[in-house]
C-alpha cells in the first residue's frame, strides 16, 4: 500500500506541473504570434499611410514580456532550457543526479529572491498606476505581474524537480522510463549476449562457410 502511494506521488507532481505549465506555454506561444501580427500591421500601415498605429508598439512590448516569462516554467517542465551536460555525462549516474539536484536547489533560492523582488515592484507599479507614455498611455503594471507569474511558476517546477531527484525519479521532461529498469534490462541483454557467444555451435573454427559473391558454380548449387 505504501509503495503504491509512493509511486502515485511523483505522478501527481507531474500532473500538477502539466496543469500549470502547459497553459502558460500556450499563452507564451500566442504572445509570440501576436508580436508577429502586430509588427506586420505596423510596418504595412507605416509604409502605406506614413504613420504608425497608436498602441501597437506598446502592445508588442507587453507581449514580449509574456513570451519570455510565461514560457519559463514550460521550458523547465519539458527540459527545454539550454544546458551544458559535459560534466554530468562524465560522472557516475548517482553523482550526476546529486549535482543536478544541487543545481535545481540553487535555482530555488535564486528564484525565490526573484519572486519577492518582482512582486514588490509589481505592487508598487499597481498602486502608482505606472504608465508608459508614447503615442498612447500604456499601463505597465499588468506586464510586471506577468513577470511575477512566470517566476512563481518556474519556482514550482524547480521544487518539483528537487523532490523527484530526492525520490530517485526522472526529472520533468526526462524519459519516463525508470533508469534502474533500463540498467537492469541492459544487464540482462549483456548476459544473454555472453551466453549466446558461448554456444558450442558457434565455436567451430571459421564457423559455417558462406558462398562467395558472384556467379554460382555447380558445387555451390
> Could you give the number of structural domains in the chain?
1
145-176 pLDDT per residue, tens: 999 999 999 999 999 999 998 888 888 887 54
Rounded CA Rg of the chain: 29
193 occurs within a structural domain: no
> What does pTM read for this prediction?
0.71
Query: Distances in Å between the alpha carbon of 118 and those of 21, 143, 146?
Result: 20, 11, 10
201 occurs within a structural domain: no
Comparing CA positions, the residue from 140, 103, 104 lying closest to residue 122 is 140
CA–CA dist 58, 56 (Å, integer): 5
Instruction: Please check whether residue 51 is in contact with residue 43, taking contact to mean a CB–CB distance below 8 angstroms.
Output: no
199 occurs within a structural domain: no
Q: What is the pLDDT of residue 124?
A: 94
pLDDT at 218 over 80: no
24-67 pLDDT per residue, tens: 999 999 999 999 999 999 899 888 888 888 888 888 989 999 99
Give the pLDDT band of residue 191 (cuts 50, 70, 90): low
Residue 154: give the domain boundaries. 2-82+91-177
CA–CA dist 182, 53 (Å, integer): 58
134 occurs within a structural domain: yes
146 occurs within a structural domain: yes
86-127 pLDDT per residue, tens: 777 888 888 888 888 899 999 999 999 999 999 999 999 999
196 occurs within a structural domain: no
192 occurs within a structural domain: no
Amino acid at each position: 500500500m505504501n509503495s503504491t502511494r509512493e509511486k502515485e506521488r511523483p505522478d501527481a507532481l507531474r500532473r500538477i506541473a502539466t496543469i500549470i505549465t502547459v497553459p502558460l506555454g500556450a499563452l507564451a506561444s500566442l504572445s509570440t504570434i501576436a508580436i508577429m501580427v502586430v509588427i506586420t500591421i505596423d510596418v504595412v500601415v507605416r509604409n502605406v499611410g506614413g504613420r504608425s498605429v497608436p498602441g501597437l508598439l506598446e502592445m508588442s512590448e507587453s507581449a514580449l514580456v509574456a513570451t519570455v516569462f510565461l514560457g519559463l516554467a514550460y521550458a523547465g517542465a519539458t527540459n527545454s532550457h539550454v544546458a551544458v551536460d559535459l560534466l554530468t555525462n562524465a560522472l557516475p549516474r548517482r553523482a550526476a543526479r546529486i549535482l543536478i539536484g544541487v543545481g535545481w536547489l540553487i535555482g530555488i533560492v535564486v528564484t525565490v529572491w526573484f519572486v519577492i523582488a518582482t512582486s514588490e515592484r509589481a505592487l508598487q507599479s499597481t498602486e502608482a498606476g505606472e504608465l508608459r507614455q508614447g503615442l498612447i498611455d500604456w499601463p505597465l503594471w499588468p506586464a510586471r505581474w506577468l513577470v511575477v507569474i512566470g517566476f512563481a511558476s518556474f519556482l514550482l517546477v524547480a521544487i518539483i524537480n528537487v523532490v523527484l531527484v530526492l525520490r530517485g525519479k526522472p526529472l520533468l521532461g526526462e524519459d519516463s522510463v525508470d533508469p534502474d529498469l533500463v540498467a537492469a534490462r541492459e544487464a540482462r541483454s549483456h548476459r544473454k549476449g555472453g551466453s549466446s557467444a558461448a554456444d558450442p555451435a558457434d565455436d567451430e573454427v571459421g564457423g559455417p562457410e558462406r558462398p562467395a559473391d558472384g556467379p554460382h558454380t555447380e558445387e555451390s548449387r
